[in-house]
């Protein structure tokens, strides 16, 4: 059974960009692991302390247009090396979303109303978990005694990427270099 | 049913439809720089797949931090350089021949109408000015592009933005695209291709069209795209003259990539640019846009004139015209960064560099450095920069720094004033704060 997520954090802001997720001053690293201490270091969010608030975090729930701006896949890697393999938001920027799936991570789009509901019910409570079950097509969010189940649909291609472990794995098996349909 | 430019390019490049809404396209070129490519190279090496689909179709440049500023950036350059050498990638541009990728590669004629091109850089969308589909992608997409020459995209959805009227004096393509982003928002074009149309776009030269397309990603667009016309032909002529009888024939051939009259757009927006005035951003998002006059008097510490948005010769000409014979404010650090060696040399010949130096600007070598706070112009906490670049995100040019985006004319005028100010090129507003 393929699941994503775990201990969850709520980021109550839209348009969180990839410069905030991993600032350019750390793009001189060529290995993913080196990005670990710097995740969300420049996030503009009242009262947010990345070191304190991201300890043990395995899933993020955020507002619209998450991951906008730079194409840097370092943003998805900074999440991954911190153990965050699930981001839930009403919408994602295209490149960031593709980077997540290309690396076998889940960028889960849910209707804004459903996200609103999750924020209202759980954002201020400690110990909340968010786990997405691919087979069941169900996101479970909640804590002690209270769980909300939100169904989701995932495109066939995204599902295939997650099953393959990423785009490199998928494409390597499927395509020959330089072949074009119809020449 | 008629097709948009992007739909025509998608059909011409189709390799596979792995799902109903997904197209895998073959690529005419893959562009690379030293920030996002080394992790792709290392990943391919780790997997025992250190190969390239076609060395002639791969173009690479060291542009973000160059010459290297420390051991880490030296290593990034070395990984790219060694890779280019061992795979026989001839179009590799290193210190002395390098420049900002989205200015250098078009200058070299590497982007043609109808092409599909990817690069691990969001501002690759700049190249759509040539009537090409040129989205920025991440490093995994780049690795597959390098290895296989393909990339996957959702079925293209196109938003048509028509710019009618004539840009007033002192108002530029930069102001027009800021107006567009201010209107549709930072996710107003997410997952869509922005096709530009209208007399104001036709009137723009290729440099202005590149500025226009450059910032479409700030509205979330996959790519900006313009119809290839006589101006496209003129810009590319030295590279394509062997392929066509004359310029007219080339322009006629490029019409293949024009949208059909009955093309279907998901959304259409029209803006009359005749009434535009110079604009600048005021917050941490590129859609937070105001007339310069409303921001006039905002003190600044630094001015940056350069980047893939506005580091071209036409930009330097405008900025030099504003500062010529004058001196920038003593509190302001002025940085001018010609985007390529060719532009630098032309600016020298035309006396623009002399104008900048006399005015008190520092003129740097071509690099992306200042725009994203990586080198040659990083802001300190609490400092403010008037910049011709494309992103005003929190910390973009240095942790705790603030960036106001604007045209080269406005940036140059602001350097003189020591605060955000309209340029005298814009006659509409002479008011001082």
- Smallest CA–CA distance from B14 into chain A, residue: A181
Q: Nearest CB to B122: which of A70, A102, A157?
A: A70
pLDDT at position A183: 37
pLDDT at A180: 54
The answer to whether the beta carbons of residues B363 and B325 sit under 8 Å apart is no
pLDDT for A170: 97
Q: What is the pLDDT of residue B287?
A: 98
Chain A interface, best mutation among B393, B399, B402, by max A CB count within 10 A: B393
Alpha-carbon gap, residue B416 to B361, rounded angstroms: 10
Please name every residue paired with B341 in a beta bridge, in sequence order, or none if there are none. Answer: none
Please answer yes or no on whether A181 and B140 come within 8 Å at the CB atom. no
pLDDT for A178 equals: 63
Query: Which one, of A124, A7, A178, A106, lies nearest residue B150 by Cα?
Result: A178
Q: Which of B35, B140, B374 sits opposite A103 (nearest CB)?
A: B140
ipTM, two decimals: 0.97
A104: closest chain B residue by CA: B140
pLDDT, tens digit (0-9, with 9 covering 90-100), for B58-71: 999 999 999 999 99
A72 and B14 within 8 Å at the Cβ level: the answer is: no
Between A19, A30, A180, which is nearest B26 by CB?
A180
Residue from the list B35, B138, B372 with its beta carbon closest to the beta carbon of A99:
B138
The pLDDT of residue B78 is 98
The answer to whether residue B83 scores a pLDDT higher than 50 is: yes
Q: pLDDT band at residue A177, thresholds of 50, 70 and 90?
A: confident
The verdict on a CB contact (< 8 Å) between A157 and B21 is yes
Candidates A17, A24, A177; nearest CB to B53: A177
pLDDT value at residue A1:
52
Per residue, the 3-state secondary structure of chain A, as one string, reads CCEEEEEEEEECCCCCEHHHHCCHHHCCCCCHHHHHHHCCCCCCCCCCCHHHHCCCCCEEEECCCECECCCCCHHHHHHHCCCCCEEEECCECHHHHHHHHHCCCEEEECCHHHHHHHHHHHCCCCCCEEEEECCCCEEEEEECCEEEEEECCCCHHHHHHHHHCCHHHHHHHHCCCCCCCCC
- Mean pLDDT of all residues in A89-96: 98
DSSP state of B300: -
pTM, full prediction: 0.97
List the single residue in A with minimal CA-CA distance to B37.
A30
Determine the Cα–Cα distance for residues B210 and B123; give it in Å rounded to an integer: 10
CB contact under 8 A, B144 and A171: yes
| pLDDT confidence of residue A179 | 58
Rounded to an integer, the average pLDDT of A133-141 is 97
Confidence of residue B391 (pLDDT cuts 50, 70, 90): very high
pLDDT, residue B386, reads: 98
Q: How confident is the model at residue B185 (pLDDT cuts 50, 70, 90)?
A: very high
Is A72's CB within 8 Å of B222's CB? Answer: no
Q: Is A35 on the interface with B (CB under 8 A)?
A: no
The residue with tokens 């060694």 is: B82
In the stretch 72-101 of chain A, residues with CB closer than 8 A to chain B read 72-73, 76, 91, 93-96, 98-99
Task: Give the model's pLDDT for residue B373.
Answer: 96
Kindly determine whether residue A182 and residue B14, on different chains, have CB atoms separated by under 8 Å: yes
- A17 Cβ contact list (under 8 Å, min separation 6): A67, A68, A69, A70, B393
Q: In whole angstroms, give the CA distance from residue B406 to residue B174.
A: 7
Dist CA B26 CA B23 (whole Å): 10
Nearest CA in chain B to A20: B394
How much is the mean pLDDT over chain B? Answer: 97
CB contact under 8 A, B138 and A98: yes
| Distance (Å, whole) CA B145 – CA A62 | 31
* Positive/negative CA dihedral, B403, B406, B407, B413: negative
**Residue A145 pLDDT:** 85
Residues in chain B closer than 8 A to A17 (CB atoms): 393
Residue B149 scores a pLDDT above 70:
yes
CA distance B257 to chain A (A): 18
- Is-contact A139 A152, C-beta < 8 A? yes
Contact A73 B139 (CB under 8 A): yes
Q: Do B42 and A30 touch (CB under 8 A)?
A: yes
Instruction: Give the minimum alpha-carbon distance from A80 to chain B in angstroms, rounded to a whole number.
Output: 14
Q: What is the pLDDT of residue B431?
A: 47
Confidence check: pLDDT of B312 > 60: yes
Least CB-CB distance to B284: which of A24, A29, A44? A44
pLDDT attached to residue A88: 98
pLDDT of residue B1: 86
């Amino acid at each position: 059974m393929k699941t994503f997520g775990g201990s969850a954090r709520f980021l109550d802001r839209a348009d969180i960009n990839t410069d905030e997720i991993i600032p350019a001053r750390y793009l001189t690293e060529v290995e993913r692991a080196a990005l670990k201490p710097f995740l969300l270091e420049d996030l503009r969010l009242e009262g947010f302390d990345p070191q304190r608030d991201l300890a043990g975090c395995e899933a993020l729930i955020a507002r619209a247009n998450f991951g906008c701006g730079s194409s840097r896949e370092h943003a998805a890697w900074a999440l991954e090396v911190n153990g965050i393999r699930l981001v839930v938001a009403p919408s994602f920027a295209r490149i960031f979303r593709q980077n997540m799936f290309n690396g076998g991570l889940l960028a889960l789009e849910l209707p804004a109303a459903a996200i609103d509901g999750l924020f209202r019910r759980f954002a201020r409570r400690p110990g909340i978990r968010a786990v997405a079950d691919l087979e069941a097509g169900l996101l479970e969010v909640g804590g002690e005694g209270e769980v909300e189940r939100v169904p989701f649909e995932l495109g066939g291609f995204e599902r295939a990427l997650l099953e393959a472990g990423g785009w490199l794995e998928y494409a390597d098996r499927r395509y020959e270099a330089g072949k074009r349909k119809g020449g | 049913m008629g097709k948009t430019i992007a739909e025509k390019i998608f059909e011409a490049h189709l390799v596979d439809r792995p799902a109903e809404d997904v197209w895998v396209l073959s690529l005419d070129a893959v562009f690379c720089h030293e920030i996002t490519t080394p992790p792709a190279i290392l990943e391919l090496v780790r997997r025992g797949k250190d190969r390239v689909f076609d060395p002639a179709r791969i173009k690479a440049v060291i542009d973000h931090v160059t010459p290297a500023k420390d051991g880490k950036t030296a290593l990034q350059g070395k990984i790219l350089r060694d890779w280019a050498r061992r795979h026989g990638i001839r179009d590799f541009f290193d210190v002395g021949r390098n420049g900002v990728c989205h200015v250098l590669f078009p200058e070299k004629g590497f982007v043609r109408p109808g092409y599909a091109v990817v690069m691990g850089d969001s501002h690759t969308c700049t190249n759509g000015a040539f009537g090409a589909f040129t989205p920025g992608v991440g490093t995994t997409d780049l690795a597959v592009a390098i290895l296989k020459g393909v990339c996957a995209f959702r079925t293209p959805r196109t938003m048509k933005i028509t710019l009618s009227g004539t840009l007033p004096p002192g108002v530029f393509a930069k102001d027009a695209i800021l107006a567009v982003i201010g209107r549709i928002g930072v996710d107003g074009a997410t997952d869509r291709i922005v096709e530009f149309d209208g007399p104001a776009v036709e009137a723009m030269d290729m440099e202005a069209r590149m500025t226009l397309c450059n910032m479409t990603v700030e509205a979330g667009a996959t790519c900006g795209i313009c119809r290839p016309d006589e101006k496209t032909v003129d810009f590319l002529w030295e590279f394509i003259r062997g392929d066509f009888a004359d310029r007219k024939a080339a322009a006629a051939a490029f019409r293949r990539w024009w949208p059909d009259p009955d093309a279907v757009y998901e959304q259409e927006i029209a803006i009359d640019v005749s009434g535009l005035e110079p604009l600048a951003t005021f917050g941490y998002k590129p859609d937070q846009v105001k007339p310069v006059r409303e921001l006039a008097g905002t003190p600044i510490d630094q001015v940056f004139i350069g980047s893939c948005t506005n580091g071209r010769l036409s930009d330097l000409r405008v900025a030099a015209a504003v500062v010529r014979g004058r001196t920038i404010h003593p509190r302001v650090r002025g940085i001018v960064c010609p985007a390529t060696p060719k532009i630098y040399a032309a600016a020298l010949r035309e006396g623009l560099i002399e104008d900048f130096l006399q005015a008190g600007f520092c003129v740097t070598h071509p690099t992306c450095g200042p725009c994203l706070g990586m080198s040659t112009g990083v802001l300190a906490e609490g400092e403010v920069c008037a910049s011709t670049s494309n992103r005003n995100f929190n910390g973009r040019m240095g942790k705790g720094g603030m960036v106001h985006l604007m045209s080269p004319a406005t940036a140059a005028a602001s350097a003189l004033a020591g605060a955000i100010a309209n340029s005298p090129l814009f006659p509409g507003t002479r008011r001082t704060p």
